[in-house]
């Protein structure tokens, strides 16, 4: 691993250099008035020479939009009778050029790793992952809605990042963690970090909020299946309005549906985000809906994150970014849900 | 000296407790404290002991009428779809309601979603709800840790700042232009009644957009809705949206595509707004819950303006009369109709 | 799975532009009016594609927007004159709804004149032809529709 010292100007010119021949994206600052045409809501393409600053806390929308786009075109076809290829499913022309995501936080970087568990054999996710380089900023402050430390992450964590940039006592330190990251800085002459910088960074990392393993273990060892009928869910389901604000802004919600769209003879098969909050999500063709009630759908979201996913893959399907807490119209707070579940006798 | 909200909270708790204790109602729909500053959680209280949870403040932005049909169903004795209706009167539900929410209950009654006999409206005159987004925008880049509410000011505190801001300047647009703050239905009065507010032009924001050219309006529309992530929070927060299958979920024909295509997103918002025509009370829940901060209320406000100008009706203001689009008059305006006479006149 | 109307002809891509107008005609009056225009040999522009509906009150905003989304340059909804509705009052309800929709579309920047409404009775063949002429001229003056049309990008 290489560690460098960066000044703000060096950082800016580095990012600008990347944006010359690659797509570089950063979180949009403040409330976005209008989304960019070639970029998902909440993000913007780096162009020109504006200095790169990243607001405290996670970006408005999560990084999953770059790896699991909404929508992803899986196949294209034509239904025009004049076309000899009529009805043939073709692979769409995919952009293969690298995309660089600058300014994501450790929680989002970790979510990429977590999503890679269910998507490990998914060609689309893997292709996106292969062409994505993530340059993250570690956090010196945790927001009131942040709880990455309680979900097994850390505000100073580097898991999933290619380059991690940390601010330690006014000095910017860049850790280049992967070959993809090294490729990015290959042509640049950067100042290697002093030993004192590296020590200070290690010190800071040691001091930052640590995972409360007792709570994590308590939750993990708890058989949540036994709480399936707990009254907690009833109250929760009653408040929930079953919108998808939590799932769509969640970095680790990865459910999708597949659909064919045909317009004027041109067709494409897309996969787009779906949410377990929507009745259509679990509706059978028979008309039966195993999760026909609001409460059942709300319960499923938390059970999936805290029980089904860890049962299958190990870690909780939550990185503690707090977006769902921030965006929930009815203030359903996953931290309170966990607390309530642990409190049930 | 307790603040206005503290007094209202106390009164809500007392009244709710009395209603539950004497068996008038089986449940009370209200708000309890939220886990973040400027949030509250819609809560259904079923026992007198739980009434202490209820709170009232300027952040009660969600429309509680949204919960009414479901809670009414939940207090009925359980029965299968083909079982006969139980004999005797069914249990009642009390709901907190401001001006616009009570008008929504009227609309729900007109549309037979709610049996008015079973609803006890705890009417609170609205002082205007504060927009969390406006407060956050005022403190952009700084994290707000607590917001304390005084009668006419908000005290916003962060790790390294504390500021006092006038409350009214942060009140939501729909509340600022609202002319009917007092509930139209009141069974149990909470606090003092409020008089009608005078507002020479509640539709000023709509007029501003109407004054633009067609190109500018299209540019406004496409940019405003471009950040939509299609989470449907606006739809689900709306007490008017109760269709078992929403038009966005129709598959054959599929009216609206499911992805973030700009046209599909635009159509979703147009149709959603249009479905609220003549029914929307401008409660602002849709706009308040939007995680992306889209001002979708402009579309419904435009429809409200047209419904008022063309048919002279404001939704939910006349409990006895039908909804404007479920009735007609023989002399309804029809200037928009293309006539053969017009065709001749235009010299075609 | 979706099925969409194929609005662009597959051949003749180079021919001069002619507007495509979807006409939702009530089967009892306007459709019969169109029929009468036909048998009486009243000429009208061949730009309209007729969709027969049971009543103008049946025409929902979904249908109109769906037609726009599929690339229609204009829409004409036509029903019985007020008072003549086969279902007594279907067109009266429609008359309440239509101005709201056309105003809303105008509000978001759809050019006025893309969506038109008319009353044509079964005996008004000539009037039907005149109205179609007016509507076609109007849409022609506006040019091809560009707004609210769904396009599919073949690249991902």
The span from the CA of B93 to the CA of B29, in Å, is: 8
Cβ–Cβ below 8 Å for C6 and A264: yes
Q: Are A125 and A186 within 8 A, CB to CB?
A: no
Q: How far is CA A169 from CA A11, A158, A165, B141, C154, in A?
A: 17, 19, 13, 20, 50
- Whether the predicted pLDDT of B214 surpasses 80: yes
Q: Tell me how close the Cα of A323 comes to any Cα of chain C, in angstroms.
A: 28
Residue B56 forms part of a structural domain: yes
Indicate which of A276, A329, A337 best probes the interface with B, i.e. most B CBs within 10 Å of its own CB: A329
CA distances from A165 to A26, A62, A321 (A): 14, 19, 18
Return the pLDDT at A38.
Answer: 80
For an interface test with C, which of A83, A264, A285 has the most C Cβ atoms less than 10 Å from its Cβ?
A264
> B291 touching A, CB under 8 A?
yes
> Any CB–CB contact under 8 A between B232 and chain C?
no
The boundaries of the domain holding residue B222 are 204-326
Q: Are B187 and B178 in contact (CB under 8 A)?
A: no
**B107 and B208 both lie in a single domain:** no
Contact at CB, C1 and A260, closer than 8 angstroms: yes
- Residue B137 inside a domain? The answer is no
Question: Which residues in chain C are closer than 8 Å to B332, comparing Cβ atoms?
Answer: 92, 95-96
Q: Tell me the per-residue pLDDT of C104-126, one tens digit each, with 9 for 90 and over.
A: 999 999 999 999 999 999 999 99
**pLDDT by residue (tens digit) across A282-292?**
999 999 999 99
Determine the pLDDT at residue C1: 37
C-alpha torsion sign, points C123, C127, C131, C136: positive
Check whether residue B122 and residue B209 sit in a common domain.
no
Q: For residue C4, is pLDDT > 80?
A: no
Calculate the average pLDDT of chain B: 92
What tens digit of pLDDT does each residue of B108-124 get?
A: 999 999 999 999 999 99
Residue C34's pLDDT is 96
State the pTM of this model: 0.94
B259-311 pLDDT per residue, tens: 898 999 999 999 999 999 999 999 999 999 999 999 999 999 999 999 999 99
Nearest Cα residue in chain B from C79 = B337
Q: Report chain A residues whose CB lies below 8 A from the CB of B141.
A: 30, 55-56
User: Among A119, A141, B321, which Cα is nearest to B313's?
Assistant: B321
Distance of CA A341 to the CA centre of its chain: 25
When mean pLDDT is compared across A73-82, A212-221, B251-260, C93-102, the lowest value belongs to: A212-221
Query: For the residues B53-80, what does the mean pLDDT come to?
Result: 93
Q: Which whole number is the average pLDDT over A226-247? A: 93
User: With an 8 Å Cβ cutoff, is B245 touching chain C?
Assistant: no
d(CA B169, CA A283): 45
Instruction: Give the single-character DSSP code of A97.
Output: S
Mean pLDDT of C77-95: 95
- Classify residue B33: in a domain, yes or no: yes
Q: Return the residue in A39, A232, A241 with the most chain B beta carbons within 10 A, the one to mutate for interface testing.
A: A241
pLDDT higher than threshold 60 for residue C11: no
Rounded Cα gap, residues B304 and B180, in angstroms: 14
Where is the domain boundary, B161, B190, B219?
A: B190
Chains that touch A (3 or more CB pairs under 8 A): B, C
pLDDT at B347 > cutoff 50: no
Mutation test of the interface with chain A: which of C3, C7, C20, C154, choosing the one with the most A Cβ atoms within 10 A?
C154
C71 in reach of chain A (CB within 8 A): yes
- What kind of architecture, by CATH, is found in domain C21-142? 3-Layer(aba) Sandwich (3.40)
Intra-chain end-to-end CA distance of chain B, in Å? 75
Note which residues in 211-250 of chain B have CB less than 8 A from chain A: 223-224, 226-233, 235-237, 249
Distance of alpha carbon C125 from alpha carbon C32, whole angstroms: 8
Here the ipTM equals 0.93
Task: Using CB atoms, list chains with 3+ pairs below 8 Å to chain B.
Answer: A, C
- B122 and B220 co-located in one domain: no
The total domain count for chain B is 2
Residue C156 has pLDDT above 60, yes or no: no
In a domain, B320, yes or no: yes
Q: Is residue B169 part of a domain?
A: no
**Nearest-by-Cβ selection for C156 from A72, A262, A266:** A72
Q: Given an 8 Å threshold on Cβ–Cβ distance, is A280 in contact with B249?
A: yes
Q: Where are the domains of chain C?
A: 21-142
pLDDT of residue B52: 95
């Amino acid at each position: 691993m290489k560690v460098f010292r960066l000044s703000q100007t060096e950082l800016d010119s580095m990012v600008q250099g990347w944006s010359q021949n690659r797509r570089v994206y950063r979180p949009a600052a403040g409330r976005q008035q209008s989304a960019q045409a070639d970029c998902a809501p909440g993000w913007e393409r780096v162009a020109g020479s504006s200095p790169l600053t990243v607001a405290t806390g996670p970006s408005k929308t999560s990084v999953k939009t770059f790896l699991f786009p909404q929508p992803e075109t899986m196949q294209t076809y034509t239904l025009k009778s004049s076309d000899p290829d009529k009805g043939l499913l073709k692979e769409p022309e995919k952009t293969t050029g690298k995309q660089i995501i600058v300014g994501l936080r450790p929680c989002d970087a970790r979510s990429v790793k977590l999503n890679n568990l269910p998507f490990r054999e998914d060609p689309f996710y893997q292709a996106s992952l292969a062409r994505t380089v993530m340059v993250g900023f570690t956090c010196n402050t945790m927001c009131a809605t942040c709880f990455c430390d309680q979900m097994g992450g850390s505000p100073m964590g580097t898991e999933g990042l290619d380059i991690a940039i940390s601010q330690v006592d006014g000095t910017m330190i860049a850790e280049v963690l992967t070959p993809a990251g090294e490729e990015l800085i290959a042509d640049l002459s950067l100042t290697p970090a002093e030993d004192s910088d590296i020590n200070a960074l290690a010190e800071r990392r040691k001091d930052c909020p640590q995972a409360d393993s007792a709570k994590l273990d308590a939750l993990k060892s708890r058989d949540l299946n036994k709480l399936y009928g707990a009254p907690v869910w009833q109250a929760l389901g009653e408040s929930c309005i079953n919108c998808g604000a939590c799932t769509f802004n969640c970095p680790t919600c990865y459910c999708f549906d597949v659909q064919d769209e045909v317009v004027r003879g041109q067709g494409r098969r897309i996969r787009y985000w779906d949410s377990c909050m929507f009745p259509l999500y679990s509706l059978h063709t028979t008309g039966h809906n195993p999760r026909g009630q609001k409460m059942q759908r709300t319960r499923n979201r938390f059970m999936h994150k805290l029980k089904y996913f860890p049962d299958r893959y190990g870690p909780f399907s939550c990185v503690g970014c707090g977006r769902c807490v921030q965006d929930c119209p009815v203030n359903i707070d996953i931290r309170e849900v966990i607390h309530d579940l642990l409190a049930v006798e | 000296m307790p603040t206005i909200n503290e007094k209202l909270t106390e009164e809500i708790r007392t009244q709710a407790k009395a209603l539950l204790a004497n068996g008038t109602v089986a449940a009370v729909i209200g708000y309890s404290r939220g886990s973040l500053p400027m949030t509250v959680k819609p809560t259904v209280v079923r026992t007198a002991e739980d009434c202490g949870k209820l709170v009232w403040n300027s952040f009660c932005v969600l429309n509680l009428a949204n919960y009414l049909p479901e809670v009414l169903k939940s207090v009925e004795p359980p029965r299968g779809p083909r079982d006969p209706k139980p004999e005797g009167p069914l249990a009642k539900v009390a709901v907190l309601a401001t001006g616009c929410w009570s008008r929504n209950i009227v609309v729900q009654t007109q549309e037979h979603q709610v049996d008015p006999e079973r609803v006890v409206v705890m009417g609170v005159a609205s002082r205007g709800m504060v927009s969390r987004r406006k407060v956050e925008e005022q403190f952009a880049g700084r994290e707000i840790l607590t917001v304390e509410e005084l009668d006419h000011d908000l005290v916003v505190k962060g790790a390294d700042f504390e500021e006092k801001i006038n409350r009214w300047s942060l009140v939501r647009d729909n509340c600022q232009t609202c002319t009917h703050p007092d509930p139209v239905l009141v069974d149990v009065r909470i606090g003092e009644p409020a008089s009608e507010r005078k507002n020479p032009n509640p539709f000023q924001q709509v007029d501003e957009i109407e004054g633009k050219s067609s190109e500018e309006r299209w540019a406004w529309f496409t940019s405003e809705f471009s950040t939509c992530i299609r989470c449907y929070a606006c739809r689900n927060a709306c007490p008017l949206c109760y269709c078992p299958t929403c038009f966005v979920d129709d598959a054959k024909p599929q009216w609206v595509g499911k992805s973030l295509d700009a046209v599909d997103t635009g159509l979703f918002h147009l149709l959603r707004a249009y479905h609220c025509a003549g029914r929307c009370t401008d409660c602002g829940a849709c706009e308040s819950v939007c995680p992306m901060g889209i001002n979708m209320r402009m579309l419904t406000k435009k429809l409200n303006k047209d419904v008022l100008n063309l048919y002279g009706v404001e939704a939910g203001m006349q409990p006895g009369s039908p909804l404007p689009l479920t009735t007609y008059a023989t002399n309804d305006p029809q200037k928009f109709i293309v006539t053969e006479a017009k065709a001749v006149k235009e010299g075609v | 799975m979706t099925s969409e109307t194929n609005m662009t002809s597959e051949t003749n891509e180079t021919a001069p532009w002619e507007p495509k107008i979807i006409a939702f005609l009530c089967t009892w009056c306007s459709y019969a009016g169109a029929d009468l225009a036909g048998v009486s040999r009243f000429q009208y522009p061949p730009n309209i594609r007729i969709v027969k509906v049971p009543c103008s009150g049946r025409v929902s905003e979904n249908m109109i927007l769906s037609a726009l989304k599929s690339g229609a340059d204009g829409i004409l909804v036509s029903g019985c004159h007020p008072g003549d509705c086969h279902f007594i009052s279907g067109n009266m309800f429609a008359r309440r709804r239509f101005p709201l929709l056309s105003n809303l579309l105008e509000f978001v920047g759809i050019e006025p004149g893309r969506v038109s409404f008319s009353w044509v009775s079964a005996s008004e063949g000539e009037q039907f032809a005149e109205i179609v002429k007016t509507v076609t001229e109007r849409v022609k003056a506006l040019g091809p529709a560009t707004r609210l049309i769904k396009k599919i990008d073949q690249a991902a």
